[in-house]
């Protein structure tokens, strides 16, 4: 079955039977847990959209490995048009869920590993690429969710992996056995790990000679023996445990971040895609980061659309929508949001084929895209906060609305324009709160800053790719010097 429905995905996840530490307790039945379920539903939306006639063109593709129809989240991009469709798909998913839908990291990792394994084999005579093709064809066939895992804890940032007091602070190979390897370490900030069937692990930085044990790329099921998951806290997350959904802000969907520990996990040989080839690790990091920096030009824009819509709506409900400064702020929000989208589209449209045959984005423009994403959502959030008004931070809880004596007072004193829509006004304010200061802000703001690397990482890449020498030549030629 190459295309699962959302329901079939949920069933497969339940069968996987992952468990994790959630708020201090080892917890099973994660898809049924009220804290986790919204994030699972967000991933399920990527399956349901692939079934919908209107979204099918964006959400599905023809597999380059098998020729079958597959979900685009498992696609190896075959053209610049594919890269553009990826961005459009992510914007659509952001529109539908209003949160991080978690499924992009595996897609971005796969596209990077696909081309790097090919080049590694060509340079080193290794046999990783064939293995990866086989592995990924299996992922496509079963329409699985893969968590792409890159970020190590990194310990003392001033020290290299091998110089850390504890060498496990960078995930590494601790044993080589016939038929496979044993790995130990941890990966932080794992978006959607508990909603994933598989995890594809990559090195976190460019390794140097002498750091062969840390130059490792492999895949294992998320329930492999030795793996332990720790569910991350998000602002106001326990609101999801309260009766009623109004105060959650986003009533249906949410994101998920996890810390995953690998305690001597065995990886069979056929799932090892890099092991000791230090010269390939930097390229893998750079390529994955490039694809993921492109991704943000789609997903954050999709969520931004929701925030702009909510801001316009609250202005209407407050009766401020005709004020010229409000109109101008909304225009500014649209301008910023579409600028990020334009960068996502541009780095995709100028994509190029790799030696392995899949398409890679324009790296310079992907880094420009992400650098804008480290700023613009913050400005969008500031403008949304401005438009919403102070009630955003002071509103009584939804529970008061249903109290016989408090409810009528809330309805009387929180009435605006039109008078009848107090509950709608509270809902819109909670949605804005969710995105600018609540659980949704983890993905919309913190992840915009740090996901796929912080701004300093993009600046390094822009400095490297910006061709300053070439630009100086232009000036020199013009001046005859």
As to burial, measured by CB atoms within 10 angstroms (0-12 exposed, 13-18 middle, 19+ buried), residue 147 is buried
CB 310 to ligand SF4: min, Å: 18
Q: Residue 77: left (phi > 0), alpha (psi -120 to 50), or beta?
A: beta
Q: What's the DSSP call for residue 191?
A: E
Strand partners, 219: 200
Rg (the chain; Cα; Å): 23
The one of ligand SF4, Fe ion, none whose footprint includes residue 275, by CB under 5 to 8 A per kind, is none
Residue closer to ligand SF4 (CB basis): 102 or 278: 102
Nearest approach, Cβ of residue 103 and Fe ion (Å): 11
**Closest CB 96 distance from Fe ion, rounded Å:** 18
Span of 1-9, 58-66, 297-305, 447-455 interacting with Fe ion by CB under 5 A: 447-455
Contact 194, 231 (CB under 8 A): yes
- 443 contributes a contact to ligand SF4 by CB under 6 A: yes
Q: Which residue lies nearer to ligand SF4 by CB, 233 or 327?
A: 233
Half-sphere exposure of 47 (CA within 13 A, CB side): 24
From 76-84, 202-210, 265-273, 295-303, give the range in contact with ligand SF4 by CB under 6 A: 295-303
Q: What is the DSSP string of 90-157?
A: HHHHHHHHSS----HHHHHHHHHHHHHHHHHHHHH---HHHHHHHHHHHHHHHT--EEEE-----SST
Q: Is 256 in the site for ligand SF4 (CB under 6 A)?
A: no
> Contacts with ligand SF4 in 165-204 (CB under 6 A)?
191
Give yes or no for residue 435 binding ligand SF4 (CB under 6 A): no
Q: Among 148, 232, 438, 451, indicate the residue that binds Fe ion (CB under 5 A).
A: 451
Q: Is 23 an active-site residue?
A: no
Closer Cβ to ligand SF4, 301 or 308, answer by number: 301
Kindly list the distances between the CA atom of residue 220 and the CA atoms of 183, 271, 313, in Å, as whole numbers in the listed order: 11, 7, 45
Q: What angle do CA 410, 247, 330 make, to 5 degrees?
A: 90
Contact 448, 441 (CB under 8 A): no
Cβ pair 326, 383 in contact under 8 A: no
**Burial of 180 by CB count in 10 Å (0-12 exposed, 13-18 middle, 19+ buried)?**
middle
Alpha-helix runs per DSSP H in 246-375: 278-318, 324-349, 363-373
d(CA 464, CA 450): 20
447 binds ligand SF4 (CB under 6 A): yes
Whether 299 sits among the annotated catalytic residues: the reply is yes
Query: Which of the following is catalytic: 93, 99, 104, 369?
Result: 104
Among the candidate windows 98-106, 329-337, 394-402, 429-437, which touches ligand SF4 by CB under 6 A?
98-106
Beta bridge partners of residue 60, listed in sequence order:
71
Between 35 and 146, name the residue whose CB sits nearer to ligand SF4.
146
Clarify whether 296 is annotated catalytic.
yes
**Residue 39 near ligand SF4 by CB under 6 A:** no
- List beta partners, residue 287: none
β 198-201/146-149 pair status: parallel
- Element holding 268 (H helix, E strand): strand 257-268
Task: Look up 9 and say whether it is catalytic.
Answer: no
**Residues facing 272 on adjacent strands:** 218
Closer to ligand SF4 by Cβ: residue 276 or 453: 453
Q: Is residue 98 at the binding interface for Fe ion, with CB under 5 A as the rule?
A: no
Residue 31, interface with Fe ion (CB under 5 A)?
no
Among the residue ranges 61-69, 118-126, 293-301, 330-338, the one whose residues contact ligand SF4 (CB under 6 A) = 293-301
Among 204, 278, 280, 295, binds ligand SF4 (CB under 6 A): 295
- Our answer to whether residue 77 is catalytic in this structure is no
Q: Is 447 a catalytic residue?
A: yes
Contact between 348 and 364 under an 8 Å Cβ cutoff? The reply is no
Using CB under 6 A, which of the segments 162-170, 215-223, 422-430, 443-451 binds ligand SF4? 443-451
Rounded Cα distance between 367 and 450, Å, is: 13
As measured in angstroms, the least distance from the Cβ of 73 to ligand SF4 is: 9
- Is-catalytic flag, 257? yes
Residue 285 CB, nearest approach to ligand SF4 (Å): 16
User: Any contact of residue 92 with ligand SF4 (CB under 6 A)?
Assistant: no
Size of the site for ligand SF4 (CB under 6 A): 12
Figure out which of the listed residues 451, 457, 458, 461 binds ligand SF4, where binding follows CB under 6 A: 451
Residue closer to ligand SF4 (CB basis): 203 or 451: 451
Which residues form the catalytic set? 100, 104, 191, 257, 292, 296, 299, 447
Question: Residue numbers of the site for ligand SF4 (CB under 6 A)?
Answer: 100-102, 104-105, 191, 295-296, 299, 443, 447, 451
Question: Residue numbers of the site for Fe ion (CB under 5 A)?
Answer: 451
């Amino acid at each position: 079955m190459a295309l699962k429905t959302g329901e079939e995905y949920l069933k497969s996840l339940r069968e996987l039977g992952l468990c994790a530490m959630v708020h201090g307790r080892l917890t099973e039945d994660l898809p049924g847990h009220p804290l986790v379920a919204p994030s699972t539903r967000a991933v399920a939306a990527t399956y349901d959209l692939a079934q919908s006639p209107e979204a099918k063109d964006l959400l599905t593709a023809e597999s380059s490995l098998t020729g079958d129809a597959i979900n685009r989240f498992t696609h190896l991009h075959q053209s610049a048009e594919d890269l553009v469709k990826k961005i459009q798909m992510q914007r659509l998913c952001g529109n539908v869920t209003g949160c991080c839908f978690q499924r992009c990291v595996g897609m971005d990792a796969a596209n990077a590993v696909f081309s790097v394994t090919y080049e590694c084999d060509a340079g080193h005579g290794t046999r990783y690429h064939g293995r990866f093709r086989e592995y990924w064809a299996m992922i496509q066939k079963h329409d699985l969710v893969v968590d792409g895992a890159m970020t190590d804890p990194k310990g003392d940032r001033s020290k290299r992996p091998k110089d850390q007091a504890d060498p496990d602070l960078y995930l590494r190979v601790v044993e080589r056995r016939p038929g496979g390897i044993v790995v130990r370490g941890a990966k932080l900030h794992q978006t959607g790990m508990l909603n994933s069937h598989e995890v594809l692990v990559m090195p976190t930085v460019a390794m140097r000679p002498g750091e062969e044990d840390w130059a490792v790329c492999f895949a294992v099921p998320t329930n492999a023996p030795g793996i332990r998951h720790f569910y991350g806290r998000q602002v106001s997350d326990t609101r999801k445990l309260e009766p009623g959904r109004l105060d959650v802000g986003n009533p249906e969907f949410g994101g998920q971040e996890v810390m995953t520990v690998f305690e001597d996990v065995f990886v069979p040989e056929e799932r090892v895609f890099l092991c000791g080839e230090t010269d390939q690790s930097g390229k893998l990091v750079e390529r994955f980061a490039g694809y993921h920096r492109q991704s943000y030009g789609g997903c954050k824009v999709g969520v931004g659309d929701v925030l702009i819509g909510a801001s316009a709506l609250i202005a209407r409900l407050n009766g401020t929508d005709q004020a010229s400064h409000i109109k101008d702020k909304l225009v500014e929000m649209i301008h910023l949001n579409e600028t990020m989208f334009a960068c996502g589209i541009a780095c995709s449209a100028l994509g190029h084929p790799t030696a392995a045959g899949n398409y890679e984005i324009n790296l310079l423009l992907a880094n420009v895209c992400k650098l804008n994403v480290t700023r613009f959502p913050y400005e969008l959030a500031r403008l949304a906060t401005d438009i919403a008004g102070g009630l955003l931070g002071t509103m009584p809880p939804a529970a008061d609305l249903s109290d016989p004596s408090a409810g009528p007072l809330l309805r009387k004193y929180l009435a605006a324009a039109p008078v009848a829509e107090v509950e709608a006004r509270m809902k819109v304010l909670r949605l804005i709160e969710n995105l600018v200061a609540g659980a949704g802000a983890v993905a919309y703001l913190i992840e915009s800053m740090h996901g796929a690397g912080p701004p300093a990482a993009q600046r390094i890449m822009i400095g490297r790719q910006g061709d300053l020498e070439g630009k100086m030549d232009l000036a020199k030629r013009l001046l005859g010097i």
